[in-house]
Amino acid sequence: MSRIWPENTQVLVVEDDAATARIIQARLEMEGLKVFVAWNGVEGLEILHQQEIDLITTDLMMPAMNGFRLVQEIRDLPPPKGRVPILLISSNQNEQDMVRCLAAGADDYITKPISAQVLMERLWRMLQRASAAG
């Protein structure tokens, strides 16, 4: 399915596993999106402050600042940064943590192993919903 992403759409990928980060980055760049990779929540917040980020994907289990804390920190920010759609990416074993993250304000989740098609579809829908909400 071909999608026409808005020009200059920027995605922040917060992921401590290099292989996963590279795969996500490669897939997003194939769609023409600009990708920033952070290795933990602290780096992710720094990039979010410096750049105009439209979408965020984040892992749950990370050093320094985990996905749950990151979601909380982002949702505490004033808009528009505080409203950037967040997609959680985690393994099935972290079901409880995932529920906590969704309750803290994450928009959606997918589980590892990742299907690139599902990933893109979720991101696309999140962006559409965010655009519709203004």
What are the residues binding another protein (CB under 8 A)?
17, 19-20, 22-23, 26-27, 29-30, 112-118
Nearer to another protein by C-beta: 37 or 130? 37
- Distance, in Å, from the CA atom of 86 to the CA atom of 122, rounded to the nearest integer, reads 10
Which residues are within 8 A (CB) of 90 and not within 5 positions of it... i.e. 6 or more apart? 59, 60, 61, 67, 97, 98, 109, 111, 112
Smallest gap, in angstroms, from Cβ of residue 79 to another protein? 33
| Shortest CB 4 distance to another protein, Å | 14
For residues 45 and 38, give the distance between their C-alpha atoms in angstroms, rounded to a whole number.
Answer: 9
37 vs 42, which CB is nearer to another protein?
37
Nearest distance from residue 59's CB to another protein, in Å? 11
